[in-house]
Structure formats: C-alpha cells, structure tokens
Amino acid sequence: MPAITPSLWFDDDLEEAAEFYTSVFPNSSIEGFTRYTDAGPGTPGSVVSGTFVLDGQRFVGINGGPVFSFSEAVSFVVQCADQDEVDYYWSRLVDGGEESQCGWLKDRFGLSWQIVPDRLHELLGDPDPARAAAATTAMLGMRKIVVADLEAAVRKV
C-alpha cells in the first residue's frame, strides 16, 4: 500500500509550524523546504512548501495564503500512555492556542489535536454500562482529560 501523508495548508507560517511541531514531538525532524526564487510568484526566499516528520509520521505543508482554514473536521489524535504524557502534549500544543472540550485543543496555528490517555478508552469501554456512562459524563465535563478525575467518577458508581 502506498504511504498516506497528511498535507497541511498554512497561510504563511509553515516554517514556524514545522519548527514548533518538531520541538514538541520526539524523534522528529524537518526534511526540508522549497523556497520561492526570483521567478516568483512569492517573495524570493520565502517558503512555499516543505516536509517534516513527527515521531515517524511524515507531513507535507504548503504556504498557500488565507484561502482555507483548519477546522475540527480534521484533527490529529495523540494517544498517551499516562497522565504525564497528556500533561506534556496538552501544555505544549495549547500554548498560544485554545482549549476546547473532551481532550480537544487548537494550537497556535489553528490545527486541532485530541490528547487522549489510553485509560480513557478502557473506562469508556467498561463492560458495566453505569461505569462507562460515568466515565463518559466525566469526560464531557473536562477540557484536558484528567485520568484521576475519570477514575473517581467511575468509583462513585
């Protein structure tokens, strides 16, 4: 099967975004950028496109101008082993962005992320419907997912 590579459309800050994302995720790198030349159509030396890798996942980016915006219709899920990982990714990705709910945030570039602890899936999939419902209700009231609060809600059932 051919590789599937997400392609992200930025207004004009692809280089800044790639530098930011590669600083957040381990095992990441910028592969390179293509820059406009004197032939145009953009300002010579400015970035038109580029590629970067986030922990093994390759991304392509383009500086296409303010024609399109990111929306929650597409987001990237960061599956976290524990609360420490949730806290790490949440604090870094939301910096300059905005919190949403249920583990969703928008970063400073407007890209949506879901920061999800493994434990959330376990609690939502509890075979006891009352416990699964308690976990769901607790999650719906959160911005950042806090595992201890989910577990406390389930214990009350």
Using one digit for the tens of pLDDT, what is the confidence trace for 97-149? 999 999 999 999 999 999 999 999 999 999 999 999 999 999 999 999 999 99
How far apart, in whole angstroms, are the C-alpha atoms of residue 54 and residue 40? Answer: 30
Domain 69-157 sits in CATH at 3.10.180.10
Please state the pTM of the whole predicted model: 0.94
- The structural domains of the chain, with segments of one domain joined by +, span 1-68, 69-157
Query: For domain 1-68, which architecture applies?
Result: 2-Layer Sandwich (3.30)
